[in-house]
Structure 1
Amino acid sequence: MKKLCLIVFISYSVSAFAQKQDYPIQPVAFTNVKLSDHFWTSRIETNRTVTIPASFERCESTGRVKNFQMAAERKGKFCTTYPFDDTDIYKTIEGASYSLALHPDKKLDHYVDSMITIIGRAQEPDGYLYTARTIDPLHVGPWLGTERWVKEQENSHELYNAGHMYEGAAAHFMATGKRNFLNIALKNADLLVRTFGPGKRHVAPGHQVVEMGLVKLYRITGKKEYLDLAKFFIDERGHKEYNKKSKSVYENGVYWQDDKPVIEQDEAEGHAVRAMYLYSGMADVAALTGDKEYLAAIDKIWDNMVGKKMYVQGSIGAVGDGERFGANYELPNATAYNETCAAIGNVFWNERMFLLHGDAKYIDVLEKTLYNGLISGVGLDGKSFFYTNAMQIHDGFNHPDIERERAGWFTCSCCPTNVVRLMPSIPGYIYAQNGNDVFVNLFISGTGDIKVNNKALQITQQNNYPWDGALAFTINPASSMDLNLKIRIPGWAQNKAIPSDLYAYQQASTQKVTIKLNGKPVDYQMQNGYAVISKKWKKGDKVEMNLPMDVHRVIANDKLPEDGGKVALQRGPIMYCAEWKDNDGKAANIIVPKTTTFTSEYKADLLNGVTVLKANVKSVNIDVAAQTVSTENKTMTAIPYYSWANRGKGEMTVWFSEKVTDVELISK
């Protein structure tokens, strides 16, 4: 581990030397945070022991590895469906690298090196790496042009493949210190620098991520051409001729976020994953160049997304046609798409927005997405997944875009491999720093090692979050030090369901957040959603914070007609749903009157340990023989939304009617 820490320090030192500016706030690296909680350590361990091996095995069994082997031999026939299937190997290597950084594993390390060798052999002499063309350049599929790059702005995904390769290579280098994958990536990036730019080939990448990848290579090498190219690709958007009058998102350029230059965009639009990667890339470039027009644009886009285009459990991308954002307030429940990759991209983007602005509202969104609409995408077994994340499942309604049960993998398996790379990096989202300011963003038991003005600081968290709001932080500086400890007070604990008026609590809680220092109430200032405690800290200082864990009834803005007269349920950061398994085989028939009160109970033997909600409610029942409809009293059980569909296939709902206003007749 000493070697690892040295590698991380050296690589970032090179980056810092080469760069004049960066994000004003810097995250504490995940390698400097050791977790001890159950909620996340069990998931990260499952990712390490189950998800990563399963992902590599599926890359082999589905032909993804074979594509690289055939490309190395320059013969054969591309044997998977999509030209971006290469990225599933890149993303799995990225996740495996993060895992290796925390859990050295010679067998896994050797296997990853063997995959990198296969990848390297497939690379063409000038650095080009794209198996769908290299295998047989005279016989390519419909997504590819007969020459390199000619369909990049559409569907070839050549630059998308490159971007994920860069991210995987950067992670591997940071984790192991080896340059075998990094050298492959740099050779490809140098090809892009020679090919694209002012006076060279112009293109707006069809699927963003190359911009984020180039920034990572710039951070490692300090080579400014990589940063310049990332900005060039972003600035290329909005210059292609489209039919601006067309309502088709493909014909008018909206699908690709290409209908207007990025600095003129003010709305989250188009394919949701591409959008998240674009906005993340813009944030990176803005931080490194000081581009204020980028900042102004992504600030407006964020306000639009959080205020008009986000589901109550943090998911985005409502429309299945194009896996995209809909119009403002277009958030249907029965056909909600909510791709897992979009949730992951939303975490990436919101972390960057926090690093730019230091406002807790971005972490509020990150947390809501992380604990709900993101981890719902992976089963508790670590090897079954949702590509989409439904808002309701009704036995009488089926839709081709709505998944009712988890699958081992998909023909397009971008989501499972995205989960692979996200999960082990979670410790890196907990702490951040800017000079004497130390931010505590997420509440996960464990220890973080931080440097404040070159002095060591250790923060140890003890809690049972997200089930319990009692939080303890032990502050251990190497010697007494002045610092501003900034602990996030979640919006949900301040009667804010979301940092906009899109959702609200039906009734505000009267309970207050309490904070003590060494057992006594402490004076603190609120700043951008953080409780700021400024003092000279000494070893063993202890902060205790208690967050009220009321069960809240969440209501939607009147502009969301499908949610009118309905409530969703939230306790702490967790959104809840009712599932068939706990409710007599049905969920769509549950009525939750306004007078309903809820109790919470932790069930250690249910769904790997969850707090459930119980209440006396009403249900609508149909007697088929008598042809009658009636209501009856019943006990309802609600489970965390993320945990649904782990016990079989059946009904599920997030939103509950408060009273019966109509009965829809459906024939089966």
Structure 2
Amino acid sequence: MKKHVLAACLLGAAGPALAQQAVADYPIQAVSFTKVKLADNFWLPRLKTNTDVTIPASFQRCEATNRVKNFEMAAAKSGKFATTFPFDDTDIYKTIEGASYSLSLYPDEHLKEYVDLLIAKVAAAQEPDGYLYTARTIDPAHPHPWAGMARWEKERELSHELYNSGHLYEAAVAHYQATGQKNFLNIALKNADLVCATFGPGKRAVAPGHEIVEMGLVKLYRVTGQPKYLQTAKFFLDQRGHYNGYDPKSPDEWRNGQYWQDDKPVVAQMEAEGHAVRAEYLYSAMADVAALTGDKPLLTAVDSIWQNMVSKKLYVTGGTGAVPSGERFGNNYELPNATAYNETCASVADVYWQQRMFQLHGDSKYADVMEKVLYNGLISGVGLDGKSFFYSNAMLVKNSASFPQTEPARAGWFDCSCCPTNLARLFPSLPGYVYGQHANDVYVNLFVSSTADLLVNNKKVSLTQQNNYPWEGGLKFIVNPATATDFSLLLRVPGWAQSQALPSDLYTFADPAAAPGVTLKVNGQPVAVKLRNGYAMLARKWKKGDVVEMTLPMDVRRVVANPRVKDDIGKVALQRGPIVYCAEWADNNGKVTNVIVPSTARFTVAYHPELLNGVTTLTTTVPTVQVDEATNSIQTVPQTLTAIPYYAWANRGKGEMTVWFPARVLDVDLVTRPALQAEQKK
């Protein structure tokens, strides 16, 4: 691993450092979100909605559901824990994290004062030795049932004490990076010092039941340079695999070591397994520790897990965690549509993981997966209003008595509201995922209209993107160095623009040779596209006003799944650019699960600024299966199919939706009228 000077080089953020130290680190560093100013038609309105709607709504709901009251009672050491789960503290931490990022982008004195007020309440709830867990502190003699009578007694299973600490650390570092204030950071450091004094060689040992404390400790290490935080993060990783905990008599047969990623040592884990959110937080931490310590077995393991997930356990929308029982990864190729779970938090965790894998290896395939998640499976989790959410993200919704799932609707809040607050913290940090830098190499991973202030060869360089992505494939990059300077600009050429649906054989394009190639120009002159690890590399002496233009093919592509994915045999999904499409009831006469998309279908592409906050739709005429009750017959009837971006569904009420379409009629399920009537009465 390359040596770097450790400052506050937080993933996606940077700010004042408390300490500096020469250490191993990621070869590629993210360009700080504070150095990137967005001007993007797609993402900027979403970030503004997050600031104006999502974050205030989250704070209001934390107040209304007594999450804030729990801290007040903990400070008074009086009362009864007033919410459902012992991890409800983290909803406040995550919303503060999102507000902190937001304050850096959109200064707001009122919001800042409110955040400081909440931080003061958190400080008052903290016990003198640093312990912070309202589910016990309020009434230590009667802690939450998941917590056990002693501290950390049930940490391996359900207490979430270290999970709470991890989100505290992440939020405190974000707040410090964004504001320069140490009031929240000091709370986190006091708690982390207690954790480090309690756990470690010769002390208490446990594999945290819900990972994220490992990621949080790494961030504290980056800010402070104190080795104990990194050492404790690695210690927690090393504790996995020493206790399986499998109970053959348990009615939940999945509740074993695999569910917690604790059935094998981390260096022996080669597949994505168990609870998807826990897993992807763990894999992010494995990447962190591998980068910072040079641990090669750890790196080998996380590389193998990544390959398994991307080649066998990823939905076409980027969703992960197929199985509702245990919110977990299924077996290889177990990707059902009717019961797809795809927790929104898993998509958030996956973005963190993909960013880290890119920083380790500098290969565009990791940014390809990150883009797929961001534009599809992640933003589907929040409604266009910014205050309605999906906990799980369906792949198929059907009006049928034989269908195992009721029509989902977005909700404003959940008893377990990890997903809304996770989105609140991710959105405003997005600018930190656009660019990366390694010495003289400047990477562009996401095509987001923006201006980045870089330092290359100790010279200031301004890099501006201008585009209408993801609707159009024309991309412009304007390079403005303070003085002429040599460096390499690496522009990601998406796999989908090279006829690769995914960097594996899990999904492929039905017509892989159909799309035209990528074109590249510098100052108006065509240049050859020379790829390095999936990036078009332009190495030259850059001068002020140099313009690079890259054009990506934006054809509508049919996606087919590996034949081992049983639910998708004989079916196609639709993709244009990075966007995966679905058909929804509102545009298709109330029904979409009767639609056939044959290989002969040709699509009309049109942008509709008035529809769903502005989307590009796909339309074509296709056969649909229709039932004629009068003649007791079935026939196919031509009908216009309108497909919308998957992320935009369920913003106009409840009804049918599908991502996968049969390419031809293979079978028909018959539902009798009495069964249908019985279903409708429920």
- Alpha-carbon distance between aligned partners in 2 of 1:337 and 1:105, rounded to the nearest angstrom: 37
Deviations 1:1-55 (A, max 9, x none): xxxxx99899767478324111010010111111111100000000000000000
Q: Could you tell me how far apart the structure 2 residues matched to 1:379 and 1:398 are? A: 28
Counterpart AA for 2:466: Q
Counterpart of 2:516, as a letter, is Q
Give, in whole Å, the separation in 2 of the partners of 1:314 and 1:150: 36
- TM-fit CA distance, 1:402: 6.4
Residue equivalent to 1:426? 430
**Residue from 56, 59, 73 that aligns with 1:56:** 59
Residue in structure 1 matched with residue 496 of structure 2 by the alignment: 492
Q: How many residues align?
A: 663
Is 1:472 the equivalent of 2:472? Answer: no
Q: Are the equivalent residues in 1 in contact too, given 2:435–2:446 (CA < 8 A)?
A: yes
Q: Given the alignment of the two structures, is residue 414 of structure 1 paired with residue 418 of structure 2, yes or no?
A: yes
Find 2:458's aligned residue among 451, 454, 457: 454
Gaps of 5+ in 1: 1-5
User: Residue 84 of structure 1 aligns to a residue in which SS?
Assistant: coil
1:512 aligns with 2:512: no
Counterparts of residues 222-233 of structure 1 (less than 5 Å): 222-233=225-236
Kept in 2: contact 1:390–1:402 (CA 8 A): no
Q: CA–CA distance in 2 between the matches of 1:402 and 1:228?
A: 47
Determine the C-alpha separation between the residues in 1 that align with 2:660 and 2:393. Answer: 14
8 Å contact 2:95–2:425 — kept in the other structure?
Answer: yes
Distance of 1:17 and 1:167 partners within structure 2: 20
Within 5 Å, which residues of 2 pair with 1:85-484?
Answer: 85-243=88-246, 250-396=254-400, 404-484=408-488
In the TM superposition, residue 398 of structure 1 has moved relative to its aligned partner by 8.0
Moved over 2 A (4+): 6-17, 241-252, 397-403, 623-628
Give the distance between the partners of 1:14 and 1:289, measured in 2 at CA: 20
Q: Distance in 1 between matches of 2:433 and 2:339?
A: 32
**Percent of aligned positions that are identical:** 63
What is the rounded CA distance, in whole Å, between the counterparts of 2:281 and 2:322 in structure 1? 17
Alignment match, 2:652: 647
Aligned-pair CA distance for 1:467: 0.1
In structure 2, what is the equivalent of residue 545 of structure 1? 550
Contact 2:433 2:445 in 1 (8 A): yes
Instruction: Give 2:566's aligned residue.
Output: 561
- Residues 438/190 of structure 1: CA separation in 2 closer, same or farther (3 Å cut): same
Aligned-pair CA distance for 1:243: 3.7
- 3-state SS, counterpart of residue 87 of structure 2: helix
How far the C-alpha of 1:523 sits from its partner, in A, is: 3.4
Deviation at 1:550, TM superposition (A): 0.4
Aligned counterpart, 2:665? 660
Q: Would you say 1:530 and 2:549 are equivalent positions?
A: no
Change (3 A) 1:399 1:216: farther
Equivalent AA in structure 2 for residue 202 of structure 1: A
Q: Which amino acid aligns with 2:481?
A: P
Task: Note if 1:65 corresponds to 2:58.
Answer: no
Report the TM-score when normalising by structure 2: 0.95
Give the letter aligned to residue 155 of structure 1. Answer: L
Any conservation in 2 of the 1:337–1:401 contact (CA below 8 Å)? no
Give the structure 2 partner of residue 607 of structure 1.
Answer: 612
For the structure 1 residues 217 and 639, does the alpha-carbon distance in structure 2 shift closer, same or farther, using more than 3 Å as the test? same
Q: Which digits, 9 at most, give the CA deviation of each residue in 1:53-79, with x for residues without a partner?
A: 000000000010000011011011101
Compute the displacement of 1:665 (Å). Answer: 1.7
Provide, for residues 334-363 of structure 1, a one-character-per-residue CA deviation record: whole Å limited to 9, x for no partner.
000000000011100000000000000000
SS of 1:479's equivalent in the other structure is: coil
Q: Which amino acid aligns with 1:203?
A: V
CA contact (8 A) 1:320 1:401 kept: no
In structure 1, distance between residues paired with 2:515 and 2:188: 55
2:3 corresponds in structure 1 to none
Give 1:625 deviation, angstroms. Answer: 4.2
1:128-182 C-alpha deviation (Å, 9 max, x unpaired): 0000000111112321100000000000000000000000000011111111111
Residues 153 and 206 of structure 1 are in contact (CA less than 8 Å); yes or no, is this contact kept in structure 2?
yes
Give the conservation status (yes or no) of the 8 Å contact 1:390–1:403.
no
Shift of 1:249: 5.5
Asked if structure 2 preserves the Cα contact closer than 8 Å seen for 1:97 and 1:176, the reply is yes
Residues 336/397 of structure 1: CA separation in 2 closer, same or farther (3 Å cut) = farther
Whether the aligned pair in 2 keeps the contact of 1:276 and 1:342 (CA below 8 Å) is: yes
Distance of 2:206 and 2:651 partners within structure 1: 43
Q: CA deviation at 1:660?
A: 1.3
Q: Which whole-Å CA distance do the structure 2 matches of 1:488 and 1:342 have between them?
A: 24
Q: Is 2:643 aligned against 1:631?
A: no
2:81/2:135 contact within 8 Å kept: yes
Partner SS state of residue 75, structure 1: coil
User: Is contact 1:473-1:542 (8 Å) kept?
Assistant: yes
8 Å Cα contact 1:523/1:533 also seen in 2: no
Structure 2 counterpart of 1:281, one-letter code:
A
Which secondary structure state, in structure 2, belongs to the residue aligned with residue 139 of structure 1? Answer: coil
Instruction: State the Cα distance separating 1:399 from its structure 2 match.
Output: 7.3
What is the deviation of 1:400?
7.8
- What is the Cα-based RMSD across aligned positions, in Å? 1.7
